[in-house]
Amino acid sequence: MNHFLTEDTLRTGLTSYLKKWKYNNTVQDDLWESLTEAAHRQASLDPAITAKEIMDTWTLQKGFPVVHVERNYDTNEPTATFTQAKFRLIKNESLPQGEYSTYKWWIPVSYASINFNTDFSRTKPFFWIKPSDKAVTKPIIANEQDWLIVNVQETGFYRVNYDLKNWAMLINQLRLNASAIHPINRGQLMDDALNLAKASLLPYDLALEVTQYLKNEEEYLPWECFFTQFHFISTMMSKSSSYGTFKKYIQNLVHKEYTRLGYGQNEADPLPRRLHRTNVVTWACKVGHEGCLASTTTLFSEWMNSSSPNMDNPIPTNLREVTYCTAIKMGGEKEWDFLWERYLDGNVAYLTWSITENSGIRKQDTPLVLRSVAATSVGGYLTFNFVRDKWAKLEKFLGDIYQPALVHIVQAIAARLNTRFELHEMQQLRDRYDGELGAATRAVDQGIETTMIQIQWMEEKLSTNRTGTDGPGSVPVYTENRTEPKLLLPVRFRFQVFENRTEPAGSG
């Protein structure tokens, strides 16, 4: 609202609203009325439009839209046609569509190109897409060879999809000189492309091409969007034979940025840079980057060799989670025992011990333990079996916090289920404990729906009969006439098996 009303109008309207309704109860329409009066008085909103008309479509409807932009590249009269639809990640006829699938919104449209609004400073909308509009065609200030970006600085809450030629020009610009595009919009392109591909609205190979420029990206936001979206892909592929090449692709992308940022911590760094370093290091170690693994081993060994490990921890605070997890993953019993000793003087641990009296793990930490194990590629299904087989013991041990905790545990488990066998197992769990789930009933139902969505993604997007890319630069620039292949995937998978620890006495 700050962008389509302007900051001055928003402040004036809010001040008027607070003065008018102080010490009284209000409803949202009272706020819209005050904002409309200020906007009309200051000419920041068309007199024929009210704040209520606009905001009701956003506050009283579920979801958000995707705007499709189809350009006419006529050199004499360049135009673009804009249409909207509710954004749905998965089109699945077996899932309830609901009447909200026909919702439409008032959508503010701003744009920039290589020769117009080049500093991305104008965020106030040039025009609106109304709920009643089937399509809106507008002249644009962009030549045939100019890319176009809609939703400047992502001030509107919607996704944007373009025709393939415009996507190709955006990809080329990112590769040649990404700084010509605002960092927020670079993040938007990353986030939109990967979500549009996930929703089958964009070919996955095109979305992957958007990511390839990242080897030269130094800003936090585009990387954050990439890591957030690739977490889903990584989770889905972690049990596939193609995970090895997937990890190699990420290694190639993060190598330059990992080298630039380093493994250490500089307290003088601004918060975004510290968050960025944490993300880059976490993913570098996650996909087996040699430099990251070596730094982890060195720091953890230094800590283990300390004469007072409870007092002197050389591992930077923001990198402790990834360092601990990587050290345990790459190490053996010695590393585990060392960290367990530190836990006994502090926090965190292991499945069966988590529901064993006097094991050293606090009862309130048990859900965290289960969620943490479930979040790993090996631990997801192990946790599912554990919860199913130890249901009665879990319920007795956790007592009053059992059902609330189960909600989050089920969500963590479902995030990794993506086969029809696992779906059947989840449905059996619901049927087996029907009537005992209580507050967790909805979480289990949502877990089943999540699993169905992920099965569809695997069946539609995953193709193990293709070789994956060796990294950035190996995939050609996208062109309009290419057919849509499935997600590029590797064909090899390497894993290690570590010895199984004996359950503590009395674990049952």
Lowest mean pLDDT among 16-25, 54-63, 155-164, 369-378: 369-378
Q: Minimal CA–CA distance to 341: which of 324, 355, 329? A: 324
Does residue 491 have a pLDDT over 90?
no
Output the pLDDT for position 352. 54
Q: Note whether 277 and 316 are within 8 A (CB).
A: no
Output the pLDDT for position 466. 42
Are residue 65 and residue 1 in the same domain, yes or no? no
Are residue 82 and residue 31 in the same domain, yes or no? no
Quote the crossing angle between the two packed helices 28-41 and 51-59, to the nearest 10°: 140
Portion of the chain with pLDDT greater than 90, in percent: 51
Cβ density class 312-344: b for 16+ within 10 Å, e for less = ebebbeebeebbbbbbbbbbeeebeebbbebbe
- Of the two residues 128 and 435, the one the predictor is more confident about is 128
Are residue 71 and residue 138 in the same domain, yes or no? yes
pTM: 0.77
Boundary-marking domain end, from 14, 36, 57: 57
Are residue 39 and residue 88 in the same domain, yes or no? no
Query: 353: which residues sit within 8 A by CB, 6+ positions away?
Result: 359, 360, 361, 503, 504, 507
Tokens coding 337? 């025992």
Q: Band the pLDDT of 499: cuts 50, 70, 90.
A: very low
- Distance (Å, rounded) from C-alpha 210 to C-alpha 319? 28
Output the pLDDT for position 505. 40
Contacts 24+ apart (CB under 8 A), 501-506: 501/333, 501/336, 501/350, 503/352, 503/353, 504/352, 504/353, 504/356, 504/359, 506/356, 506/357
Lowest mean pLDDT among 163-177, 202-216, 219-233, 456-470: 456-470
Boundary-marking domain end, from 126, 146, 162: 162
Does residue 104 have a pLDDT over 50?
yes
Region 493-502: mean pLDDT is 37
Is 123 inside a domain boundary?
yes
Is 197 inside a domain boundary?
no
- Tell me what the pLDDT averaged over the chain comes to: 83
Are residue 84 and residue 22 in the same domain, yes or no? no
Are residue 42 and residue 80 in the same domain, yes or no? no
Output the pLDDT for position 345. 58
Output the pLDDT for position 501. 40
Output the pLDDT for position 472. 36
Region 220-246: mean pLDDT is 90
Q: Helix or strand or coil: residue 111?
A: strand
Lowest mean pLDDT among 68-72, 382-386, 443-447, 492-496: 492-496
Does residue 506 have a pLDDT over 60?
no
Region 8-20: mean pLDDT is 95
Q: Residue 112 is part of a domain; what is its CATH number?
A: 2.60.40.1910
Region 32-43: mean pLDDT is 95
Does residue 99 have a pLDDT over 80?
no
Tally of domains in the chain: 3
Residue 68 phi, psi dihedral angles, 5° rounding: -95, 130
Are residue 80 and residue 131 in the same domain, yes or no? yes
Is 129 inside a domain boundary?
yes
Q: Band the pLDDT of 492: cuts 50, 70, 90.
A: very low
Does residue 443 have a pLDDT over 60?
yes
Does residue 382 have a pLDDT over 50?
yes
Does residue 473 have a pLDDT over 60?
no
For every residue of 356-406, DSSP letters joined together read: STTSS--GGGHHHHHHHHHTSTTHHHHHHHHHHHTHHHHHHHHGGGHHHHH
**Domain that residue 152 falls in:** 61-162
Is 67 inside a domain boundary?
yes
Does residue 484 have a pLDDT over 90?
no
- Distance (Å, rounded) from C-alpha 329 to C-alpha 399? 32
- Of the two residues 389 and 73, the one the predictor is more confident about is 73
Are residue 99 and residue 8 in the same domain, yes or no? no
Q: What torsion do the CA atoms of 288, 291, 295, 301 make, to the nearest 10 degrees?
A: 70
Output the pLDDT for position 430. 84
- Of the two residues 267 and 287, the one the predictor is more confident about is 287
Q: What is the tens place of the pLDDT at every residue in 124-163?
A: 999 999 999 999 999 999 999 999 999 999 999 999 999 9
Is 183 inside a domain boundary?
no
Which DSSP category does 477 fall into? P
- Of the two residues 212 and 429, the one the predictor is more confident about is 212
Does residue 281 have a pLDDT over 80?
yes
Are residue 2 and residue 71 in the same domain, yes or no? no
Output the pLDDT for position 91. 63
Q: Band the pLDDT of 258: cuts 50, 70, 90.
A: very high
Are residue 124 and residue 76 in the same domain, yes or no? yes
- 342 to each of 90, 210, 323, 336, how far by Cα in Å? 44, 43, 14, 10
Q: Minimal CA–CA distance to 175: which of 147, 195, 144? A: 147
- Distance (Å, rounded) from C-alpha 417 to C-alpha 426? 9
Is 145 inside a domain boundary?
yes
Are residue 38 and residue 81 in the same domain, yes or no? no
- 86 to each of 98, 100, 180, 427, how far by Cα in Å? 12, 8, 30, 29
Lowest mean pLDDT among 338-352, 366-380, 487-501: 487-501
For every residue of 168-216, DSSP letters joined together read: HHHHHHHHHHGGGS-HHHHHHHHHHHHHHHHTTSS-HHHHHHHHGGGGG
Q: Using alpha carbons only, how large is the chain's radius of gyration in Å?
A: 26
Residue 476 phi, psi dihedral angles, 5° rounding: -70, 160
Q: Is residue 434 exposed (0-12), middle (13-18) or buried (19+ Cβ within 10 Å)?
A: exposed
Does residue 490 have a pLDDT over 70?
no
Are residue 150 and residue 93 in the same domain, yes or no? yes
What residues pair up with 66 in beta bridges, in sequence order?
85, 159
Look at the chain and count its residues. 508
Boundary-marking domain end, from 346, 376, 391: 346
Portion of the chain with pLDDT greater than 70, in percent: 84
- Distance (Å, rounded) from C-alpha 163 to C-alpha 83? 12
Is 138 inside a domain boundary?
yes
Region 397-420: mean pLDDT is 80
Q: What is the tens place of the pLDDT at every residue in 344-373?
A: 654 333 455 555 555 555 666 777 778 877
Is 71 inside a domain boundary?
yes
Q: Chain centroid to CA 349: how far?
A: 27
Residue 113 phi, psi dihedral angles, 5° rounding: -145, 180
